[in-house]
Amino acid sequence: MSKKAFALSLLICLPASVYADNKKVAQPMGKTLKSEETLVVDLFKAIPESKEGQLLQKEMEAKQQRYAGILQKDQENLVKMNQEIEQKKSMLSADAISVKRDAFAREQRAYQTKAQEFEQEMRMFAQEGQQKMLQSFTEAAEELAKVTGKKAVQDRSGQYLYVADDVDSTVDLVKCLDTRYEIKLAQKQKEEATVLAEAKKATPGVAA
């Protein structure tokens, strides 16, 4: 697996939810960051060039090779079993052939199950490695930002690896939401009062 293919395989499996699940990854909450306050990095390049990324790539390749070797032996065994059935079907009874074919079918199902399990294990191994690498990258991004006096570190994909705590307008956002809610509530109450007053006027004998 080439470095580019390895990096691409990791980044494809790193959706935005992965960033969101990482506690050290923040997003700007309303305040505009100036370009000179933000460092831009490229994880596509950083992953295969970092020592941690290179180690993960070697571990994944070793795991893939081991699983491929196991599956190849099983596949060769299936070929031999099938060849034996074809060679001996004219010499064996129908019942004996049926027994051998049943055994072959069981081995074939076992092979398919094993292949699926290996695929799932590889996927889980890659995801765990991705989480560890993301953790390392976000910690390094925070350290880099503080050393360089920057407010944020952003990947070229648009995701933020680090955002300073003071880049947060959540309180202002809540105030704005509450003000808008109170205005809408007051307007609704005014409209309901108007409808009720008009209904009373239209009903004889009901005081306004």
What's the mean pLDDT in 152-170?
Answer: 85
H or E element, residue 45: helix 43-49
Residue ranges covered by each domain of the chain? 3-168, 169-208
CB 38 within 8 A of CB 150: yes
What rounded mean pLDDT belongs to the chain? Answer: 83
Does 196 or 36 have the greater pLDDT score?
196
Does 117 or 204 have the greater pLDDT score?
117
In this structure, are strands 152-155 and 160-163 parallel, antiparallel, or unpaired? Answer: antiparallel
Question: In the prediction, which pLDDT does 3 show?
Answer: 53
Q: Looking at the predicted structure, is the pLDDT value of residue 169 above 70?
A: yes
Concatenating the DSSP letter of every residue in 84-102 gives: HHHHHTTTS-HHHHHHHHH
pLDDT digits (tens, 9 = 90+) for 108-134: 999 999 999 999 999 999 889 888 888
Report the distance separating Cα 84 and Cα 72, nearest Å: 18
Does 134 or 106 have the greater pLDDT score?
106
Query: Which DSSP symbol is given to 166?
Result: T
Residues 6+ apart with CB under 8 A from 190: none
Of 58-62, 99-103, 133-137, where does mean pLDDT reach its minimum? 133-137
Q: Looking at the predicted structure, is the pLDDT value of residue 29 above 70?
A: no
Report the distance separating Cα 137 and Cα 133, nearest Å: 6
Q: Looking at the predicted structure, is the pLDDT value of residue 31 above 90?
A: no
Q: Give the rounded percent of residues in the chain with a pLDDT score beyond 90.
A: 45
Does 73 or 15 have the greater pLDDT score?
73
Does 60 or 2 have the greater pLDDT score?
60
Q: Looking at the predicted structure, is the pLDDT value of residue 207 above 80?
A: no
What's the mean pLDDT in 76-102?
Answer: 92
Q: Give the rounded percent of residues in the chain with a pLDDT score beyond 70.
A: 81
pLDDT digits (tens, 9 = 90+) for 39-79: 999 988 888 899 998 999 899 999 999 999 999 999 999 99
Binned at pLDDT 50, 70 and 90, residue 189 comes out as very high
pTM value? 0.58
